[in-house]
Amino acid sequence: MKIACIILCLIAVSEAISLVLIRRQNREICRQLAFIREYESRKRVEVNVERFGERALAEEVNLTLDKVREQQRALHEREKLVADAYANLSHDIRTPLTSLDGYVQLLHDAKTEAERERYTAVIGERISTMKELLEDLFTYTKLKNDAYELELQPISLRSVVAETVLSYYDTWKDMGVDPEIILTDEVLQIEGNELAVKRILHNITKNAVLHGRKALSVYLHRVDGEAEIKISNPVEHPEEIEIERVFEQFYTADRFHRQASSGLGLAIAKEFTERMGGTICATLEKSTFSVIIRLPLVSA
């Protein structure tokens, strides 16, 4: 009986010591977490006592901290990217806006009809540039809103592509662009949005014309039960293109910003494509840049 009492006492003392150690460790964990929060430290939570799965708990806490830190890093990078992009957008909008004052004054003082026509054309071009930049920003903001719904209905993809591409044909020829257009004879009906398809084609071909080498190819055909649109153009500096980033908002490979561009064209094309249930990707083979769109077909 006495031995049993001694054993029970030893067990009680052992449990009491364990509880003291666990309470002390819990306070230490709280101290570590407070230090990490206050100083945004990359320190990891450490434990010394393992009784009820404390090490596994600490590891889960550390994994959560790592994830939060990664999210914060990505958020800071995105904030910097957006800030830089808005600065560029502001510059691109302010530049033609500032010049408008001067051209309006020149138009007012013009002595000949030829001068008035020239200044009027320049003013129109500046206004068009600003409208397109603002439209890109408005469209992308709208597409990123989860509440926005793109209205879909059965459409003939071939008809929309043919109408859109051919409407640009004379403009491209005037710009010295030599387009190669090959469209299948199939109807290729999809569940889509006509305006969205036209906007996708406009953004991709505009990107090709701005950054390409005065050559452009547009292909439309059926591939593996889907409609595929492939738009390709040679580029002057393929080494400057980060192919994995071309669909990011505000990304532009033109480090010298030679052309007024929102950096949203391909991001908008991606959003529209995915809202129609399709996929979009880009490839870079030697000096040829291509954007490939796949859209699911529906029965006629």
Whether residues 96 and 209 fall in one domain = no
| Beta-carbon count within 10 A of 253 CB | 18
d(CA 214, CA 223): 28
Beta-carbon contacts of residue 159 (< 8 Å; ≥ 6 apart)? 187
Report the distance separating Cα 83 and Cα 70, nearest Å.
20
Residue 215 in any domain: the answer is yes
Q: Any bridge partners for residue 282, and if so which?
A: 291
Tell me the pLDDT tens digit for each residue of 132-147. Answer: 778 887 888 888 777 8
Domain ranges, residue 99: 79-143
What count of other Cβ atoms lies within 10 Å of the Cβ of residue 63? 11
Residue 64 lies in a domain: no
Q: What is the pLDDT of residue 85?
A: 66
> What pLDDT, on a 0 to 100 scale, did the predictor assign at position 218?
93
Q: How far apart are CA 231 and CA 146, in angstroms?
A: 29
Residue 264, φ and ψ in degrees, nearest 5: -115, -5
Question: What one-character DSSP code corresponds to residue 44?
Answer: P
Same domain flag for 130 and 199: no
Same structural domain for residues 175 and 271? yes
Among candidate residues 193, 189, 162, 164, the one with its CA nearest the CA of residue 272? 193
Query: Do 163 and 250 share a structural domain?
Result: yes
pLDDT tens-digit series, residues 13-32: 666 666 666 677 677 777 77
Q: Helices (H) and strands (E) in the chain — how many of each?
A: 6, 7
Sites in the chain below the pLDDT cut of 50: 255-258
User: Is residue 133 within 8 Å of 260, Cβ to Cβ?
Assistant: yes
Q: Would you say residue 59 lies in a domain?
A: no
* Same domain, yes or no: 198 and 126: no
pLDDT, residue 135, reads: 83
Based on the domain organization, do 181 and 205 belong to the same domain?
yes
Question: Tell me, what CATH number does 239's domain have?
Answer: 3.30.565.10
Tell me, what CATH number does 121's domain have? Answer: 1.10.287.130
The tens digit of pLDDT for each residue in 99-129 reads: 788 888 888 888 888 888 888 888 887 788 7
Residue 74 lies in a domain: no
| Number of domains forming the structure of the chain | 3
**pLDDT per position as a tens digit, 274-283:** 999 999 999 9
- What is the per-residue burial (b if ≥16 Cβ within 10 Å, else e) of 274-299? ebbebebebeeeeebbbbbbbbebee
